[in-house]
Amino acid sequence: MKVAIIGASSALAHETAKFFARDGADLFLVGRSADKLAVVADDLKVRGAHSAETFVLDVNELDRHEELLQQTVATLGGLDIILVAHGTLGDQRKSELSVAETLQELNTNAISVISLLTLSANYLEQQKRGCIAVISSVAGDRGRPSNYVYGTAKAAVTTFLQGLRGRLAKSGVVVVTIKPGSVATPMTAHMKQGLLFAQPKAVGEGIYEAIKKGKDVAYVPGYWRVVMLIIKSIPEGLFKRLPL
């Protein structure tokens, strides 16, 4: 199995990759920090990865995405699965005060993802098999005052994936939208963690299972499907007054 992971130093990506490593997969790990990628690659090799190569890229360097895809395919000798995991939670308040900040968040969480998906979709469509999996978020299901810039980006990604799924279904390429709820990772370390917070290991396993089964949309942990069903059904008039 040849797996490329973008944002491979993310806690959720790493936990997911541990399962692929146990299967003896060949891994291509992409991220912006060479040091962190090396740490993750060593770990995954000990855990059983057949190979783990790294590639340093800030995903906002869109003009290097083509090169990235070529390198991926050349190094792995093909491509079965691409998992896009990078993201930033950003500071909502800062975004409200700065257009540049808002655009930066949208670039990292939406535009870079859409660019990567456009290129890899074309490659896999021609190959007529493979899997695209992206970590979106429950935050994209409904806009909330506390994180709507992030939520907007995730909503864009989710919608993009819906369309792409339909298009690629004809070529036998699977598109998996992953919507984690709140997970205790570095991204959320500063937040007060309530009962609904999940552990990264369990979420990594959920993501791995979703990819293996080729699910269309996976809420992880599964109870978030219900939580979001309720959240989505609250009338806007009431919703806008909730402290969310």
Partner 1 sequence: MATVNKHPQSWGRYPIAKSSQVVPVYWRDELPNLAAFEQSILPYGYGRSYGDSCLNDGGVSVDVSHLRNFIAFDDETGVIRCEAGVSLADILEVAVPRGWFLPTSPGTKFVSVGGAIANDVHGKNHHSAGTFGCHVTQFELLRSNGEHLICSPEQNSELFRATIGGLGLTGMVIWAEFRLKKIVNPYIDMESIRFDSLDEFFELSAESDQKFDYSVSWVDLLIGGPGLCRGKFSRGNHNQDPALAQKPLKAKKLPLTVPIDFPSFVLNSYTVKAFNEAYYRVQIDKYVKKTESYEPFFYPLDAIHNWNRIYGKRGFFQYQFVVPFEHGREALNKSITHIQKAGEGSFLTVLKQFGDVKSPGMLSFPRPGITLALDFSNHGERTQKFLRELDQIVEDNGGVIYPAKDARMSAESFKKFYPQWQEFEQYIDPKFSSSFWRRVTQGTDSNIPLYI
Ligand X SMILES: NC(=O)c1ccc[n+]([C@@H]2O[C@H](COP(=O)([O-])OP(=O)(O)OC[C@H]3O[C@@H](n4cnc5c(N)ncnc54)[C@H](OP(=O)(O)O)[C@@H]3O)[C@@H](O)[C@H]2O)c1
Q: What residues make contact with ligand X under the rule CB under 6 A?
A: 7, 9-12, 31-33, 36, 58-60, 85-88, 108, 135, 137, 180, 182-183, 185-188
Interface characters, 156-185, with partner 1 (x: CB under 8 A): ----------------------------x-
At closest approach, how far in Å is the CB of 179 from partner 1? 23
139 versus 173: smaller Cβ distance to ligand X? 139
One of 98, 159, 193, 199 touching partner 1 (CB under 8 A): 193
Residues 69, 106, 57, 88, CA torsion sign: negative
Q: How far apart are CA 242 and CA 139, in angstroms?
A: 15
At closest approach, how far in Å is the CB of 12 from ligand X? 4
H-helix or E-strand containing 180? Answer: strand 173-180
The answer to whether 195 contacts partner 1 (rule: CB under 8 A) is no
The answer to whether 186 contacts partner 1 (rule: CB under 8 A) is yes
The answer to whether 192 contacts partner 1 (rule: CB under 8 A) is yes
The answer to whether 217 contacts partner 1 (rule: CB under 8 A) is no
- CA 149 vs. chain centroid, Å, equals 17
At closest approach, how far in Å is the CB of 21 from ligand X? 17
58 binds, among ligand X, partner 1, none (CB under 5 to 8 A by kind): ligand X
Token reading at 214: 């080729």
Residues in the chain: 244
Q: How far apart are CA 100 and CA 189, in angstroms?
A: 25
Give the Cα-Cα-Cα angle 11, 91, 133 (nearest 5 degrees). Answer: 40
Burial class of residue 211 in the structure, from the number of CB atoms within 10 Å of its CB (0-12 exposed, 13-18 middle, 19+ buried)? buried
What type of residue sits at position 58? D
Interface characters, 29-68, with partner 1 (x: CB under 8 A): ----x-xx--xx-xx--xxx--------------------
Q: How far apart are CA 194 and CA 216, in angstroms?
A: 28
Residues that bind partner 1 (CB under 8 A): 11, 33, 35-36, 39-40, 42-43, 46-48, 184, 186, 189-193
